[in-house]
Structure 1
């Protein structure tokens, strides 16, 4: 794992610095002229992003989030890899893979093309190899300006095809979940996790009045969160992703999780760019796959 001293070579005066949380986790803080972001090196977990043109963050993190070694953080952009949901055969393995709770190393940083950028690579260990005994280097590249861009890049360095499912599990900040609508999925088929994965078809905008947990399949469309209270649209564009996961826990489930404040669930909506369910990948020997997202906000 990195020490703060070893990270100094990646710092950029006035734009990128590193600091240690009281629990020992190390964070990167990016302060670009047009946007700010924070990222925890454990899990390459982006915990906040706000364009400086916006009074409120675009990426939400719970006020009750816990920043502990080996534990996932509630909010931000957890990296779900190399599987999404439960493991196909081992129920003892963590849901959504191990990437979001293990150390990643900073391998590059810089300021170019109008953005501050940072690249991290997952560090395999005996514990991760016990769950995923495959040589598949994976990195996350982020670029911060007035927009946030993220690339999750997986390379199959083995001589055999490998299954892969993945997601950037992004929590977006909203004024009130009951007031927003999500555009871009009209007509799409989805699997409804709240009804035993029943297959349904979306009609019109997605609106929220209860727990929602859906995997929309065969869609690469841009999604837009329309937020009348915060008077903005959040645009979620993606490439290399054929699934979109939409999730809100609602009151009862959020209360049972323990890392939401009493009303915190009202201020978030997960719209996840994924390759999951029908759209799980098979990565061929020598193949590299990139899942890319671009998040921006604009006034209504």
Structure 2
């Protein structure tokens, strides 16, 4: 919650560093009726959060795993302010993928899209290539995205990422120099990871008191090293 710097907030917001509670009696959801396992997590404002972000909220995160192994993340954020004030925020899931070798990885589904390059002061460009490859540090936000595929040729595995309510995609890898400067990142770890995450950054979300926003990300792993143009569009449709 709250991607990027904003006033006194930390770089990627406070939600990722807080203690969540488990809902012992989660509400039913038709879109997860066939899930093998479901857990609902809840985060609400506290005195600590109110000091850095003076708004009240309820953040519900449902984590569901299907029998086929698909991971589904559904977030609901409600404005519970009683003072009549609206508030605005950005959002990103921060999903990190384990890959065999970053130099052998492709990301497809980004062609012809506009993007903001954070390594060039958020300058806006249009993607010209058929697939994104990695030879140096990358910190990009692609705008108005739909289906995404992460191809790991060495493992002969493809991750499919589908989403709803989250128009943007963040792609990040720190590469060698930045990895060495990060205290929580080993020097060689950048070779075996890639951050690709559903997000809402370019156009922040605004909620009036009592309003709720919903965003969803679904990830599947399929045993294929090539899926260009063959992502099953039926699986991009969300219900519930």
Normalised by the size of structure 2, how large is the TM-score? 0.84
Question: Does the residue aligned with 2:103 lie in a helix, a strand or coil?
Answer: coil
SS in 2 for 1:165: strand
4+ residue runs over 6 A deviation: none
Specify which of 4, 10, 21 is matched with residue 105 of structure 1: 21
Gaps of 5+ in 2: 27-31, 225-240
Task: Give the Cα separation in 2 of the matches to 1:94 and 1:183.
Answer: 31
Give the corresponding residue for 2:5.
86
2:51 to 125, 130, 136: 130
Output the CA distance in 2 between the equivalents of 1:172 and 1:109.
31
State the Cα deviation string for residues 98-147 of structure 1 (Å, max 9, x = none): 11111111113789624200011114221101122212211111002311
Which residue number corresponds to residue 224 of structure 1? 149
Secondary structure in structure 1 of the residue aligned to 2:181: helix
Per mean C-alpha deviation after superposition, the further-off stretch among 166-175 and 124-133 is 124-133
Q: CA deviation digits over 1:13-32, x for unaligned, max 9?
A: xxxxxxxxxxxxxxxxxxxx
Which digits, 9 at most, give the CA deviation of each residue in 1:7-49, with x for residues without a partner?
Answer: xxxxxxxxxxxxxxxxxxxxxxxxxxxxxxxxxxxxxxxxxxx
1:167-215 deviation line (CA, Å, top 9, x unaligned): 1010011111111110111111111011111111112211111000011
**Quick check: 1:279 aligned with 2:203?**
yes
Alpha carbons of structure 1 residues 124 and 216: separation in structure 2 relative to 1, 3 Å:
same
CA contact (8 A) 1:243 1:279 kept: no
Which structure has the higher relative contact order (CA within 8 Å, separation 6+)? 2
What value does the CA root-mean-square deviation take over the aligned residues?
A: 1.6
Partner residue of 2:215 out of 275, 291, 294: 291
The residue aligned with 2:133 is: 207
Q: Matched residues in 2 for 1:140 and 1:114: separation?
A: 15
Gap regions ≥5 residues in structure 1: 1-80
Judge conservation of contact 1:84–1:167 (CA < 8 Å) in 2. Answer: yes
Counterpart of 2:11 in 1: which secondary structure? Answer: coil
Contact residue 78 and residue 212 of structure 2 kept, 8 A: yes
TM-score (norm 1): 0.68
The number of equivalent residue pairs is 214
